[in-house]
Amino acid sequence: MRLPLILRTMSVAVVSAAALALVVTGQADASPAAAEPPGSAPATLLAQSGMQSPEALAVLQNILGAAALGPLGLPEFGVTAPQDFMYPAPTLGCGVGETPVTVTVASAQAGPNFPLPPFIERGQLRFQALPAHVDFPKQSGLNVVWFNADTFKGGIEPLDDVLLGVPTMSKTVATGAGTVFAALYGDVTYQSGKTCVALPTVGSFTA
Q: What is the pLDDT of residues 49-80, one digit of tens each?
A: 445 555 554 554 455 444 445 555 677 899 99
Q: Report the pLDDT value the prediction gives residue 98, as an integer from 0 to 100.
A: 81
Q: Report the pLDDT value the prediction gives residue 41, as an integer from 0 to 100.
A: 43
Q: Compute how many other C-beta atoms are within 10 angstroms of the C-beta atom of residue 138.
A: 15
| Residues 128 and 107 sit within 8 Å (Cβ to Cβ) | yes
Beta-carbon contacts of residue 20 (< 8 Å; ≥ 6 apart): 89, 90, 199, 200, 201
How far is residue 21's CA from residue 26's CA, in Å, rounded to a whole number?
9
Q: Report the pLDDT value the prediction gives residue 110, as an integer from 0 to 100.
A: 97
Listed as ranges, residues in the chain with pLDDT below 50 are: 1-4, 7, 11-12, 14-46, 49-50, 57, 60-61, 64-68
Q: Report the pLDDT value the prediction gives residue 157, as an integer from 0 to 100.
A: 98
Single pTM value for the model? 0.68
Long-range contacts of 21-25 (CB under 8 A, 24+ apart): 21/86, 21/87, 23/90, 24/87, 24/88, 24/90, 24/103, 25/87
